[in-house]
């Protein structure tokens, strides 16, 4: 469903939708017990994650220390189906995703996942996030190597075992086949449309939660 049709739904969802992160509330969770150490030298690595509308996920990670870039796009389906109008049908296999390029000497993959689970989205919502519903809004970590798979699976198990969330985490941990950048008008959407009701009620609170909960990781842009 196109976002402009969800403006009223977004406002109503503040009062009717359960979920810890949809309106900027946060869950305090521990550091991952299994993580990669910070690299000794500056470099670039890539993480691809999905957790609802890519606008908000991109906006959060653009404010995280050590992140070089965050790009909205699609993962999980074929190249031919990687177009917003088709993905929005929920029948392509794609999830709205964000490719996060980061410097592993400044932030670890596990710390990125901590932000992802605690302020970027609600990992207990199945095939939805806030007012958005459909498999294209599912929660996914697309791993690109064995280390990312190991860290992601261990963290999900750690959080589930400790019951930090009121429901079990439904985040999928699957291999990354490809990432397809979204159309230009989706990139930096929160930056360009900060006054849209959808952004005001669903995405800006996530950035505010990042600043409040992770002052040592938050950077202004």
pLDDT digits (tens, 9 = 90+) for 192-213: 999 999 999 999 999 999 999 9
**Could you say which of 9, 22, 27, 53 is catalytic?**
53
All residues at 6 or more sequence positions from 159 whose CB lies less than 8 Å from its CB, including other chains: 29, 117, 165, 169
Whole-number pLDDT of residue 137: 98
Q: Is the pLDDT at 74 greater than 80, yes or no?
A: yes
- In 3D space, the residue among 108, 109, 87, 111 whose CA is nearest the CA of residue 97 turns out to be 87
pLDDT at 110: 98
Q: Residue 18: is its pLDDT beyond 50? A: no
pLDDT band at 15 (very low <50, low <70, confident <90, very high): very low
Look at residue 2 in the predicted model and tell me its pLDDT: 45
Is 20 among the residues known to form the active site? no
Confidence of residue 11 (pLDDT cuts 50, 70, 90): very low
pLDDT in tens, 102-113: 999 999 999 999
Average pLDDT over residues 33-40: 97
Output the CATH code of domain 3-7+43-213: 3.30.1060.10
User: Phi and psi of 155, rounded to 5°?
Assistant: -70, -40
How high is the mean pLDDT of the chain? 91
């Amino acid at each position: 469903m196109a976002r402009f049709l969800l403006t009223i739904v977004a406002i109503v969802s503040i009062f009717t939708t359960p979920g810890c992160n949809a309106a900027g509330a946060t869950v305090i969770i521990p550091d991952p017990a299994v993580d990669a150490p910070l690299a000794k030298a500056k470099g670039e690595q890539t993480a691809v994650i999905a957790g609802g509308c890519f606008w908000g996920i991109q906006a959060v990670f653009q404010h995280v220390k050590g992140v070089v870039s965050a790009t909205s796009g699609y993962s999980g389906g074929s190249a031919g189906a990687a177009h917003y109008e088709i993905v929005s049908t929920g029948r392509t296999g794609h999830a709205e995703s964000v490719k996060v390029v980061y410097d592993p000497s400044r932030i670890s993959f596990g710390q990125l996942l901590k932000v992802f689970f605690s302020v970027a989205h609600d990992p207990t919502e199945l095939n939805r996030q806030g007012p958005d519903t459909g498999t294209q809004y599912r929660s996914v970590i697309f791993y690109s190597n064995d280390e990312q798979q190991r860290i992601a699976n261990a963290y999900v198990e750690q959080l589930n075992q400790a019951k930090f969330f009121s429901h079990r985490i439904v985040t999928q941990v699957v291999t990354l086949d490809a990432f397809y950048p979204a159309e230009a008008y989706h990139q930096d959407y929160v930056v360009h449309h900060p006054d849209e009701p959808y952004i005001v009620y669903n995405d800006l609170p996530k950035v505010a939660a990042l600043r409040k909960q992770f002052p040592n990781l938050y950077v202004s842009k």
